Structure 1
Amino acid sequence: MRTLVETRHLSKRFDVSPPWLNRVIEGRARQWVHAVDDVSFSIAQGRTLSLVGESGCGKSTVARLLVGLHRPTAGDVLFDGQNIAQALAGRQALPLRRRMQMIFQDPYASLNPRWTVRDIVAEALTEHRLVSGRHELDERVAQLLGSVGLVAGDMRKYPHQFSGGQRQRVSIARALATQPEFLVCDEPTSALDVSVQAQVLNLMKDLQQRHGLTYLFISHNLAVVRHVSDTVGVMYLGRLVEVAEKSAIFIAPRHPYTRMLIDAIPDIGMTGRARTPVQGEVPNPLAPPPGCSFHPRCPHANERCRVERPVLLSLRGIQVACHAVEEGRL
């Protein structure tokens, strides 16, 4: 299966230092937060990779790096073998933008309240010169709205006249306007009611089957991830700690952090299996712990975990960064 999207040792750090004068007066050094730290993965064409983890683990930063909204501090993002950072800085920027789009988390903030739905969806069509003439433009907008379960008459309305689920459908229609191959979905259902979430997720799966779309899906909701994913990557403090097929993650998680996340899911079937709730708090990302960043919360940590940072290794078809798993202690 052809790899469409790939990251190689991707890193992004942000300068969060106080203003220069404050640093001089207080004698403080610059401060950096490593939002994404040496992340590598690939997504095959037509497949869905989901990134999960607690808030602040770097999921959304990865999403923005993949579509060029942030430039990486180190590492590369490849789309169909093409380096995104180089392409977006040259003549290939517009063709590349057509092939990838992003659906944002908040449908209330991502749509311009002063524009009609027609103008919102049509912007990409006119920017990329995909239609000629007002009549063709209206036809294409109506077709896009129909593909997400809305009607042509909705194009004359404004965002405030829609519910949250309908607004997210408008966002999806806008993203589909350029006929992209790759969609980055940054928690697209987290602001919606549960029943509406199901409708939007089913719509996205249907669109994937019809158009052969490739998804990067960002979420902290494991029930959503289980519904949409082919492969799941678990992130902690900017690093990938486990990557595996969906079935392996949910049936036999390997990394202690993944196990804690899975155990936190309510056991509707009341199977009686032992459960370990997620313990402790995420460390301060400005001062992450040495060695394995998860060791302060891990019941299996030893001295090696406290001093040596684990690398992502392939073990029996699962990629996992854990000394305990590598040594057979888990």
Structure 2
Amino acid sequence: MSEVSTKALVRATDLAKTFDVSAPWLNRVLEGQPRMLLKAVDGVSFEIEKGKTLALVGESGCGKSTVARLLVGLYEPTRGGFEFDGEDAHAAFKTPEGRKLRRRIQMIFQDPYASLNPRWTVEDIIAEPLREHEILSDEPAIKERVGELLKSVGLSPLDMVKFPHQFSGGQRQRISIARALATHPEFLVCDEPTSALDVSVQAQVLNIMKDLQRQQGLTYLFISHNLAVVRHVSDQVGVMYLGRLVELADKHTLFDTPRHPYTRMLLDAIPKMHDTGKARTPVSGEVPNPLNPPSGCAFHPRCPHANARCSSERPKIQTLAGVKVACHAVEEGRI
């Protein structure tokens, strides 16, 4: 077993999720429609070491958020599995002991406006996991813990009597982080936690998350489509396209020497300070319909390096010079 796998806190193996998006049975019979299956995630594997951050990036609809929901048990995998600290997490989620595992894995959602109950005070919102998991039952102790959690995310204990509508977007996301930290989790799944916020506020929230990671040894899966954010927070980066991982590398390798043509396309589209006046390369083409994906490599209709093999044979993810990449052109040395 490799050194990395012995230290991995989180290990996803061939994780897949297929949704049945068919029309109702009667419509299908009367109109002769086939069943429609959407492969939202199709065989994703990765590991995250304790105290590290893996970022998943890609265009909208590539399956990033589905991976996040699979890891916290909101979805059941169609295939594959997820181990947490050496334990089969999806099997454990179904048992009474699964509550202990749920304490250790928490999620921060994308929209701070939708993820907080508008009728509850901040105290009730943050105290809910403490009561639900029976971590504390004494009301004064709960109040004290809520105050500590608010302080840890840069808010005041005096804020606990307020309601969510009395806070800005950035402050609401801090409340969401405080709620996620209430159970002393080890692994946080962050589904685009800053995408609904202004850029200056994004930086504040990201810095809080980095500080908390250092202080508490937290492990993050960070979902984002913003590569500048990813560069700031991640140790490793996985690039997803149409439900599959096409490249997985440590941050510096991926940003300095991207291998997969899709990764290169995403990085070329980022504005760079020293390239003022230089035309940026736009991300060309459209993401294909996931209900009817292209044959072979799903990226081949948009790829400048595609050949006949790319359109007929699906590339397997391989480790080349320490980088995991699924691309025939890279494998054959054409790029």
Q: TM-score, normalized by length of structure 2? A: 0.97
- Match in the other structure for 2:193: 188
Code of the aligned partner of 1:132: S
1:4 aligns with one of 5, 9, 32: 9
1:302 aligns with 2:304: no
Q: Unmatched 5+ residue regions in structure 2? A: none
Q: Quick one: distance in 2 between partners of 1:230 and 1:274?
A: 30
Residue 202 of structure 2: aligned partner: 197
- Partner letter of residue 216 of structure 2? H
How far did residue 133 of structure 1 move?
1.2
Relative to 1, partners in 2 of residues 1:78 and 1:273: Cα closer, same or farther, differing over 3 Å?
farther
**Residue in 2 aligned with 1:27?**
32
Aligned to 1:42: 47
Give, in whole Å, the separation in 1 of the partners of 2:26 and 2:92: 38
1:211 to 210, 216, 235: 216
128-137 or 204-213, which deviates more: 128-137
Deviation at 1:85, TM superposition (A): 1.2
Distance between the aligned counterparts of 1:104 and 1:147, measured in 2?
Answer: 19
Give the residue type in structure 2 aligned to 1:196.
V
C-alpha distance in 2 between matches for 1:290 and 1:75: 23
| Structure 1 counterpart of 2:78 | 73
How big is the shift at 1:304?
A: 0.4
Q: Distance in 2 between matches of 1:314 and 1:62?
A: 22
Return the offset for 1:276: 3.5
C-alpha distance in 2 between matches for 1:277 and 1:120: 42
Q: How does 1:88-237 map to 2 (within 5 A)?
A: 88-237=93-242
**1:270-313 deviation per Cα after TM superposition (whole angstroms, max 9, x unaligned):** 17889532110000000000000000000000000000000110
What is the CA-CA distance between 1:112 and the residue it aligns to? Answer: 0.3
**Matched-pair contact (CA < 8 Å) for 2:271–2:280:** no
1:9-28: CA deviation from partner (whole Å, max 9, x where unpaired): 01000010011111111101
Query: Residues 219 and 177 (structure 1 numbering): CA distance in 2 closer, same or farther, change over 3 Å?
Result: same
Match of 1:292? 297
1:72-114 per-position Cα deviation (integer Å, ceiling 9, x unaligned):
0000011111111100111221100010100000000000000
Structure 1 runs of 4+ off > 6 angstroms?
271-274
Alignment gaps of 5+ in structure 1:
none
Instruction: Give the Cα separation in 2 of the matches to 1:45 and 1:180.
Output: 12
Is the CA contact (8 Å cut-off) linking 2:147 and 2:156 kept in structure 1?
Answer: yes
**Structure 2 counterpart SS, 1:286:** coil
Matched pairs, number: 330
Q: For residues 110-132 of structure 1, give each alpha carbon's deviation from its aligned partner in whole angstroms, at most 9, with x where no partner exists.
A: 00000000000000001111113
Counterpart of 1:238, as a letter, is G
Query: For residue 109 of structure 1, what is the amino acid of its counterpart?
Result: A
Provide the secondary structure at the position in 1 that maps to 2:275.
coil
For 1:276 and 1:104, the matched residues in 2 are separated by 31
Give me the TM-score of the superposition, normalised by structure 1.
0.98
**Paired position in structure 2 for 1:280:** 285
The CA RMSD measured in Å over matched residues stands at 1.1
- Distance of 1:202 and 1:180 partners within structure 2: 19
| SS of match in other structure, 1:37 | strand
Q: Secondary structure of 2:33's partner?
A: coil
SS of 1:269's equivalent in the other structure is helix
**Which residue of 2 is the match for residue 324 of structure 1?**
329
Identity %: 70
